[in-house]
Structure 1
């Protein structure tokens, strides 16, 4: 007499069928990956253009004053940016890099997060890390105007003193919240992994 034993495959080898909601998240995330890739590229191009303009442009159409920077003209108390000494313009290039880097890295981090979603990774450790990075870059974006103001004030190169904005405070609070959400996601994943290992 022969006994036939049917073995079930191990649970971790089973690939669950994708639900409609998971498919929508995956496909929507692909669109957002392209969107944030475009925004990332645009931010890099704008920074490169701004740096080239600050260093090489000598005309009157780019001006800076105590309240703002202007393109295409400005008030009487503004100065043509190209008329500033090269050292002054290079200092403002450094400020531009410091101010733009958090925006570029924010787009990079959000793109990375939606890339994970597009690959079907929703509650993985990488998701928590991406959330924390997004929160960190939001906070960096919020404090960069203050840091640049302090640096420019200390060096005597400050012209535009309009640095305090409510949007920076809001971005900092949002950044803290997103950072904490990322940490909570990572702790939740660790708890889930410990529970699976215990069973």
Structure 2
């Protein structure tokens, strides 16, 4: 009586090349930087929550707003206590605060994700390129948000702080465009690399 034994084909797993010293430095350094951006993201979120709480519930004189800026502590004579504003006015500024803070939070979120990719050894991956482009897009959003909020507040006549035009916003917009384009170039480069690997 014959015995039939089914043999499984031996499939060789691709051998991962050993990590170089430079790759190890990038991986470890990226892990530390990802931790830094995690901390900055958490701190920014806590500051936003504290600011919303102060805008809604604080009634003292230490938080004031005027035509040039918002102040905590000593403030010029042309300012008013934020807590003295009507609830609707304060709610409008809560929305403005969220709109202005969201790009900052998303920049830190995207930077954290990017460096987590690097820490995992994905330096020139498609996901890393997408994250890089997202950082540029959120930088542009951060740059234009003061102007958009100014237009909305002017239209509703709720604007008190009219100091919205800053050179830093222009710089952030230009930097954001550059980072966005670099992210697109990285994606195109990755697609070319994938096509070449498929052809070979």
TM-score (norm 1): 0.94
In structure 2, relative to structure 1, the CA distance for the partners of 1:106 and 1:12 (3 Å cut) is: farther
**Structural mapping, 1:34-49, within 5 Å:** 34-49=35-50
For residue 186 of structure 1, report the CA deviation from its aligned partner: 0.5
- Preserved CA contact (<8 Å) 1:109 1:134: yes
- Preserved CA contact (<8 Å) 1:132 1:179: yes
For residue 158 of structure 1, report the CA deviation from its aligned partner: 0.3
Alignment partner, residue 175 of structure 1: 176
Question: Distance in 1 between the 2:121 and 2:196 partners?
Answer: 22
CA RMSD of aligned residues (A): 1.3
- Preserved CA contact (<8 Å) 1:143 1:172: yes
In structure 2, relative to structure 1, the CA distance for the partners of 1:88 and 1:123 (3 Å cut) is: same
Question: Distance in 2 between the 1:198 and 1:34 partners?
Answer: 39
Poorly superposed stretches of 4+, deviation over 6 Å: 9-12
Question: Distance in 2 between the 1:129 and 1:175 partners?
Answer: 14
What CA deviation, in whole Å up to 9, does each residue of 1:70-111 have, x standing for no partner?
001211100000000000000000000000000000000000
Question: Distance in 2 between the 1:133 and 1:72 partners?
Answer: 37
- Preserved CA contact (<8 Å) 1:125 1:189: yes
Question: Distance in 1 between the 2:13 and 2:187 partners?
Answer: 21
**Number of residue pairs the alignment of both structures matches:** 191
Question: Distance in 2 between the 1:26 and 1:198 partners?
Answer: 30
TM-score (norm 2): 0.93
Alignment partner, residue 85 of structure 1: 86
1:190 and 2:188 correspond: no
Alignment partner, residue 140 of structure 1: 141
For residue 14 of structure 1, report the CA deviation from its aligned partner: 1.7
1:16 and 2:17 correspond: yes
Runs of 5+ unmatched residues, structure 1 = 1-8
In structure 2, relative to structure 1, the CA distance for the partners of 1:87 and 1:190 (3 Å cut) is: same
SS for the counterpart of 2:170 is helix
SS for the counterpart of 2:64 is strand
**Structural mapping, 1:91-102, within 5 Å:** 91-102=92-103
Question: Distance in 1 between the 2:37 and 2:137 partners?
Answer: 18
SS for the counterpart of 1:13 is coil
Question: Distance in 1 between the 2:35 and 2:199 partners?
Answer: 40
- Preserved CA contact (<8 Å) 1:68 1:160: yes
For residue 125 of structure 1, report the CA deviation from its aligned partner: 0.2
- Preserved CA contact (<8 Å) 1:60 1:73: no
Alignment partner, residue 115 of structure 1: 116
Runs of 5+ unmatched residues, structure 2 = 1-9
